[in-house]
């Protein structure tokens, strides 16, 4: 999850000085409306790895917002006597902000289960159960007019190490909000968090990741998110706990899709040998006895004309035709429309020892259906969780889920479209729809970025494939599948 959180981001001092006053004004104006109209209260959870600057960001919020209506509630891992003698959620209930007010929560209800899980005091079932309780609590809050915003401040482990080292030398060190001091490595906290975020990023209260490598863009991203969320919620119907769709908040929005290095190429001279090598590997793996206890589901998504079909043909060549099926997914039939959108995929699941390859997939819900408005925002927002759940069910039933995103540039797409129009035997591949979709390139890129951030799970990560060079893409696809299969078998 949150692939784009690890993309580099930085804001120059002059950029910050240009952005900050406008954001400050907008944030204050939004808060003022919440204070005046009192339609809801706001809880801002600040969590994340040590050294990411949680305290500094909170200090910044206090500079920016009207502090008469802003409270910071910090909770210690070690409860007070009065807290220990009451239910765990009691202290959070006690300090719940009244409508119109905003509360910054440090040391939230996530801290104890997260820490206990990392330290091994809580097993997977217990952790899931604790998270389910949290979901119910947050859903109650969302329905009872509390806007719950959950921020996770993330840092690359390497960056964290450097930062903690540098901070040690300074007096400022005491300002670090140290929640994970007894847990050595940032990635432990991050892994536990990602697991929790999978279950608790609900439409009512999604997690938002703040890449915190650069302090200035960190604060701008945080402020923007709060401002946007307040504004959206002010505009929404009273009973509609609307969510914030951004899952990774940053100043310059770069999606995981934009960041794919499209310059990757494979020289023609090496293509055949490499392809044959990986195809042979694949043939060897699916021939193994262990493969008979494994189901395989492969999904292909990507830009139009990115070469999904060609890649699929290379992928299936080493497979026994009796043991795989390719499903080309287009507009749903009348019967399919009469069922939940996931139905046509559930009913096509392979049994063990078999493979199902989907040329376009259930991700249509959060791509074409989102962009074209075939479903409501609430529908595609909840689809992320539904899809993660679907793939978790597959994983639990020993089915390997491999997902490819094939990316090309806008110019390359144009060239391929034109080539298709000019080549008689390729004309069937290009339709008016393709040209129409192309006009919405940016909307599709945004949808793809959100999709990758929200549905790259440990069980079923996305493989992002540069497809500007077809040879590179085809080999990369087969190779990636081989690697995933090797891990699984």
Of 15, 73, 99, 231, the one binding a second copy (CB under 8 A) is 99
- Which one of 76, 121, 144, 287 is in contact with a second copy (CB under 8 A)? 144
Give yes or no for residue 140 binding a second copy (CB under 8 A): yes
Closer Cβ to a second copy, 102 or 413, answer by number: 102
146 in contact with a second copy (CB under 8 A): yes
Applying CB under 8 A, does 438 fall inside the site for a second copy?
A: no
Work out whether 408 is an interface residue with a second copy (CB under 8 A).
no
Residues 6+ apart with CB under 8 A from 228: 244, 246
Give the closest residue to 45 by CA, choosing from 104, 91, 90, 94: 104
User: Which residue from 300, 341, 384, 404 is in contact with a second copy, where contact means CB under 8 A?
Assistant: 341
Site string for a second copy, 226-255 (x = CB under 8 A): -------------x----------------
- Minimum distance between the CB of residue 240 and a second copy, rounded to whole angstroms? 11
Residue 85 as a binder of a second copy (CB under 8 A): the answer is yes
Give the rounded distance of the alpha carbon of 192 from its chain centre: 15
Question: Is 324 a binder of a second copy (CB under 8 A)?
Answer: no
Among 141, 229, 286, 447, binds a second copy (CB under 8 A): 141
- Which x/- pattern, by CB under 8 A, does the window 353-372 give for a second copy? x-------------------
CA gyration radius, the chain: 24
Phi, psi (5° rounding) for residue 403?
-125, 125
Q: Among residues 36 and 125, whose Cβ is nearest to a second copy? A: 125
Binding a second copy (rule: CB under 8 A), the pick from 35, 96, 326, 463 is 96
> Which range, of 16-24, 380-388, 403-411, 442-450, touches a second copy by CB under 8 A?
380-388
CB atoms near residue 336 (< 10 Å): 15
DSSP 8-state assignment for residue 79: P
Query: Could you give phi then psi for residue 185, rounded to 5 degrees?
Result: -110, 135
Q: Cα separation of 77 and 92, whole Å? A: 13
**By C-alpha distance, which of 169, 250, 195, 168 is closest to 178?**
168
Check residue 206 for interaction with a second copy (CB under 8 A): no
- Is residue 98 part of the contact set for a second copy (CB under 8 A)? yes
Least distance from a second copy to the Cβ atom of residue 163, Å:
37
| 76 in Cβ contact with 241 (< 8 Å) | no
Q: Which residues of 116-153 are buried (b: 16+ CB within 10 A; e: fewer)?
A: bbbeeebeeeebbebbeebbebbbebbeeebbbbbbbb
- Give the residue, chosen from 394, 401, 445, 460, that forms a contact with a second copy under the rule CB under 8 A: 394
Min. distance of Cβ 398 from a second copy in angstroms?
A: 8
According to the binding rule CB under 8 A, does residue 93 interact with a second copy? yes
Which residues are CB-neighbours of 269 under 8 A, at least 6 positions away? none
Contacts of residue 292, defined as CB under 8 A and 6 or more positions apart, other chains included, come to 352, 353
Does residue 88 belong to the site contacting a second copy (CB under 8 A)?
yes
41 vs 54, 96, 110, 238, 241, CA distance in Å? 22, 9, 20, 12, 12
* Sheet-wide strand order for 207-211: 70-74, 102-106, 41-48, 146-154, 207-211
CB of 337 to a second copy, least distance (A): 8
Residue 267 in the binding site for a second copy (CB under 8 A) = no
Determine which residue in the list 343, 420, 434, 440 makes contact with a second copy, applying CB under 8 A. 343
Judged by CB under 8 A, the residue of 71, 121, 166, 346 near a second copy is 346
36 binds a second copy per the rule CB under 8 A: no
In whole angstroms, the minimum distance from the beta carbon of 330 to a second copy comes to 19
Does residue 242 contact residue 229 with C-beta atoms inside 8 Å?
Answer: no
Residue 279 is a binding residue for a second copy (CB under 8 A): no
> Per CB under 8 A, which region of 98-106, 188-196, 227-235, 270-278 contacts a second copy?
98-106
Please say whether the beta carbons of 180 and 153 come within 8 A.
no
Judge contact between 99 and 41, C-beta under 8 A.
yes
Scanning 143-151, 204-212, 270-278, 469-477 for contacts with a second copy by CB under 8 A, the matching segment is 143-151
């Amino acid at each position: 999850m949150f692939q784009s959180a690890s993309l580099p981001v930085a804001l120059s001092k002059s950029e910050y000085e240009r952005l900050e006053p406008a954001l400050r004004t907008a944030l204050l104006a939004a808060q003022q409306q919440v204070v005046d109209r009192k339609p809801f209260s706001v809880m801002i959870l600040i969590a994340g790895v040590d050294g990411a600057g949680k305290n500094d960001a909170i200090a910044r919020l206090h500079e920016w917002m009207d502090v008469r209506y802003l409270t910071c509630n910090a909770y210690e891992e070690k409860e007070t006597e009065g807290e220990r003698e009451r239910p765990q959620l009691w202290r959070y209930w006690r300090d719940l902000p009244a409508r119109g007010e905003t509360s910054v929560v440090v040391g939230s209800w996530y801290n104890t289960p997260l820490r206990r899980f990392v330290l091994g005091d809580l097993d997977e079932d217990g952790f899931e159960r604790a998270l389910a309780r949290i979901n119910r609590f947050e859903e109650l809050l969302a329905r009872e007019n509390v806007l719950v915003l959950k921020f996770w401040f993330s840092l690359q482990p390497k960056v964290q190490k450097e930062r903690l080292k540098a901070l040690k030398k300074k007096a400022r060190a005491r300002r670090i909000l140290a929640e994970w001091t007894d847990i050595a490595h940032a990635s432990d906290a991050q892994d536990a968090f990602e697991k929790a975020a999978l279950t608790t990023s609900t439409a009512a209260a999604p997690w938002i990741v703040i890449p915190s490598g650069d302090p200035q863009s960190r604060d701008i991203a945080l402020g923007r998110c709060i401002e946007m969320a307040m504004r959206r919620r002010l505009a929404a119907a009273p009973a509609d706990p609307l969510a914030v769709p951004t899952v990774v908040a940053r100043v310059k929005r770069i999606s995981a899709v934009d960041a794919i290095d499209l310059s990757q190429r494979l020289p023609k001279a090496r293509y055949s040998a490499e392809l044959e090598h990986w195809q042979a590997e694949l043939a060897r793996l699916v021939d193994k006895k262990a493969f008979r206890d494994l189901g395989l589901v492969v999904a292909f998504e990507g830009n139009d004309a990115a070469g999904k079909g060609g890649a699929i043909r290379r992928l299936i060549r080493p497979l026994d035709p009796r043991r795989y099926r390719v499903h080309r997914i287009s507009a749903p039939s009348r019967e399919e429309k009469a069922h939940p959108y996931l139905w046509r995929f559930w009913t096509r699941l392979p049994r063990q020892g078999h493979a199902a390859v989907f040329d376009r997939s259930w991700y249509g819900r959060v791509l074409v259906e989102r962009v074209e408005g075939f479903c409501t925002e609430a529908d595609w927002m909840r689809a992320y969780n539904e899809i993660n759940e679907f793939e978790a069910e597959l994983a639990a039933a020993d089915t390997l889920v491999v997902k490819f995103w094939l990316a090309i540039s806008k110019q390359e797409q144009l060239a391929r479209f034109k080539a298709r129009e000019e080549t008689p035997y390729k004309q069937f591949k290009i339709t008016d729809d393709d040209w129409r979709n192309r006009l919405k390139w940016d909307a599709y890129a945004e949808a793809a970025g959100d999709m990758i951030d929200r549905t790259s799970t440990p069980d079923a990560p996305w493989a992002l494939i540069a497809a500007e060079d077809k040879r590179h893409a085809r080999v990369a696809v087969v190779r990636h599948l081989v690697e995933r299969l090797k891990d699984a078998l």
